[in-house]
Amino acid sequence: MLSRLATRPHTRVGVAGAVLTAAGLVAIAVGTFLPWVRSGSVLRDSYQSIAVIRTFKVLDGNPLALVIDAWTLLIPAMTLCVIVYALGFRRSSATISALIAIISGTISGAATVLGGGEEVRLGIASIGPTTTLVGAVLTFAGVVAIFAGRRGRATEDAGGEP
């Protein structure tokens, strides 16, 4: 049977993890659309910034170009998470969420550190990377909770306390 939802009820920890993960993914998604690059009085979100990078070909032939490509796949990956979760494959969904959190968290963390604050005329803006970083942390915490919930159930099945 394709869906495993009916056979796997939620535990409290699992539900809390799922909610946290969902909130984190939403924050990541929103963060990518917030300002990442400031140039003069113009603010660009992460995707517009990627367009500029691609236009100038500054990463042509550089392995970092793969990171740029991966970034544009965050939203599709989040959509995949929802589909996989809806079908009841929670651990798979949590694993994909963890990957999203790691990738987005690493990039946004680096951008947050390198950000020049709001006073710079040309540089990294802070709100986009910070929001994405918070989302990544929430997502990762949620994923941990989902797996922790699973561990608790496995203990019960092995004869532990219900």
Partner 1 sequence: MTYPGGGQWQPNDPNQPGSGGFPAQQPGGYQQPGYGQPGGYPQTGPQGFPQQPQTGPEGFPQQPQTGPQGFGQPQYGQPQYGQQPQYGGLPAYGGVPPKKRGKGPIIGAIAAVVVVALGVGATFFVLNRSEAGSGGEDNPTQAATNLVNSLSQGDVLGVLESLTPAESSLLVDFNAKTTKRLQELNVYKKDADPNKLHGASVQAENLKYDEKGAEKVNDHLTITKLIGGTVTLHADVNDLPLTEDFMDAAFPDGVSSKPTDEKIDIAKAVKDNGEPIRIATVKVDDKWYPSLFYSVADYALLDAGKKWPTQSIPNNGAANAGDAVKELVQAAINSDVERVIELLPPDEMGALHDAGPALLDEIGTPAATNVQVTKLETESADAESGGTRVMLKEIEVKVDGETYHVTKDGDCYTAQAQGETQKFCAADVAESMGNSDMKPELKQALSHLASGMLKNTGVVATEVDGKWYVSPLRTYSELGLTALSDLTPDDVIALVTAK
With binding defined as CB under 8 A, does residue 155 bind partner 1? no
Bridge partners (DSSP) listed for residue 44? 37
Nearest distance from C-beta of residue 34 to partner 1, angstroms: 13
Residue of 78, 94, 133, 138 interacting with partner 1 (CB under 8 A): 78
The whole-angstrom separation of Cα 30 and Cα 27 is 5
Q: How far is the C-alpha of 127 from the C-alpha of 134, rounded, in Å?
A: 11
Q: Identify residues 13-42 at the interface with partner 1 (CB under 8 A).
A: 29, 32, 37, 39-42
- Sole window of 2-10, 91-99, 104-112, 139-147 interacting with partner 1 (rule: CB under 8 A): 2-10
By the rule CB under 8 A, 151 interacts with partner 1? no
Contact 103, 94 (CB under 8 A): no
Our finding on whether 110 is near partner 1 (CB under 8 A) is no
C-beta closer to partner 1: residue 70 or 144: 70
Site for partner 1 in 79-108 (CB under 8 A): 79, 82-83, 85-86
Burial of 136 (0-12, 13-18, 19+ CB in 10 A): buried
Give the count of residues interacting with partner 1 (CB under 8 A). 43
Distance CA 54, CA 135 (A): 26
Residues 6+ away with beta carbon under 8 Å from 58 = none
Nearer to partner 1, 106 or 156 (CB): 156
